[in-house]
Structure 1
């Protein structure tokens, strides 16, 4: 197989590899780096002796991601409190093939936050097996564990995800209606109407932007979340509807300059989670859709 043919075959697998790396790492830039490193390794060994290219690439990409995650742990980069991963932000009409490929299996930002709370091995087992149908024996080989222990890790991770990650409504229009009602009540300062848009166990997570760089503010319950929403109602003129990880969200952009991305998880017609990214450096690194002033 010559170099051009190998590159062409790799490109066929790139969307899946990037999707896998994003779920494992929670960082778009690191996911791209992992995919590039996977290509470099393939280019070095060639494809003539690879029986199943897809399986080989999945294994290599997983090992690259695993090295990154272990490096994070050694440097203690990951905060102990919940971390808001990189959001995938697109226009409200959803017409972005690259984003659609990245989110092919649909993973909301609230789900990504929960994945961040799993142990390294739990996250890897859950993502590989439950999201990408990688056999337990293959995962066991990567982690150098028994298949039985890998099954246990995946089962434990599955329970934690089920308990902590609300299932979003499939109807995007229903999601948008709930988000619009939330912002309308905030603008009007209508406390009761705001509470009515929220689930009883609603959680709001925000990195805090310049005031709390690298840290995450967590508020739980309708009254706490409502109080924060009323305090930030002045930003309502600068809200622009977008899709965040395939769900209804908002880009806050005064004078067209991105200030925050807000992701909403709407379950049963009520907002169950709000995840906010306001870190200027991370926002600057995102591929955000243009907004009017």
Structure 2
């Protein structure tokens, strides 16, 4: 007969049961991970921080009373959103002290790392231009705008996520749309056209063909470079066809063991430059009406780690 407090599960069996439970918890969370990362990245503009937030959410989920969670997706979205809001407040102060232009961390999107990007609207929602516009918003405005515009949440659902009233969320959304105004990106180039123009751009830049390069640039083209004080980069935007074409002359310099990969980055055509197996910079092109309007270069090594992890092993 069993004594009070004893168990019919052997110590080995109990250990096995715990491992099974933990694996089930992990599988349940992993099904939600891609969507949670997509939310966090759009809110933070940082892939590294988005990964940290998602991991923090897993730890909270692992410790939570799961029997009390009625809707797992909603519960996790709330956790991730509020973790992001905490980070956004301190991030704004850090970006005010940033050396040179600040750009979002680039993410290769050819493998749907940020969710489905089958439509122009979906690609626009992860573009650097869009993420930079979001920087104009307060953290609550950004949260409401992203959840509403990018993920289709209703105001009632957003109110539950943010612990705000529905009317307040509607006001925040209205203010966010006013702040962003008509400047929300609308890129007209198809993927095929974007790739074609990107290949011509790369050939002209690598070959030092200034005349061919100028033909690809819009009259109001702007080149931005983010070195963060840790890599050589222009500290101010370069504007105009002639100045941008001359500035890009460095792309024709010979570099030993250099490889340049053409791929989709943040829903737009882009390049990854590697020396050996090390990513040294990323270039993202924005194209409208067949011309390149913006060139965004990320060279800050701190912002290249996530993208480097997305590339195939080149050893």
TM-score by length of 2: 0.77
User: For the structure 1 residues 228 and 122, does the alpha-carbon distance in structure 2 shift closer, same or farther, using more than 3 Å as the test?
Assistant: farther
Select the residue among 260, 264, 267 that pairs with 1:246. Answer: 267
1:261 aligned partner: 282
Shift of residue 170 of structure 1? 5.3
8 Å CA contact 1:241, 1:250 repeated in 2: yes
Select the residue among 212, 219, 222 that pairs with 1:200. Answer: 219
Aligned with 1:30: secondary structure?
helix
> Does the alignment pair 1:79 with 2:96?
yes
Flag structure 1 segments of 5+ consecutive residues without an equivalent. Answer: none
How far apart are the structure 1 equivalents of 2:209 and 2:288?
22
2:291 aligned partner: 270
How far apart are the structure 1 equivalents of 2:207 and 2:33?
47
1:31 aligned partner: 50
Map 1:126-275 onto structure 2 (within 5 A): 126-143=145-162, 145-161=164-180, 163-169=182-188, 171-208=190-227, 217-234=236-253, 238-275=259-296
8 Å CA contact 2:74, 2:161 repeated in 1: no
User: For the structure 1 residues 27 and 187, does the alpha-carbon distance in structure 2 shift closer, same or farther, using more than 3 Å as the test?
Assistant: closer
Higher mean C-alpha displacement, 64-73 vs 80-89:
80-89
- The two structures, once aligned, show a CA RMSD in angstroms of 3.2
Higher mean C-alpha displacement, 21-30 vs 250-259:
250-259
Higher mean C-alpha displacement, 133-142 vs 99-108:
99-108
2:7 aligned partner: none
2:76 aligned partner: 57
Select the residue among 105, 111, 115 that pairs with 1:101. Answer: 115
2:38 aligned partner: 19
1:289 aligned partner: 311
Give the paired residue count.
Answer: 286
User: For the structure 1 residues 216 and 45, does the alpha-carbon distance in structure 2 shift closer, same or farther, using more than 3 Å as the test?
Assistant: farther
Shift of residue 23 of structure 1? 0.8
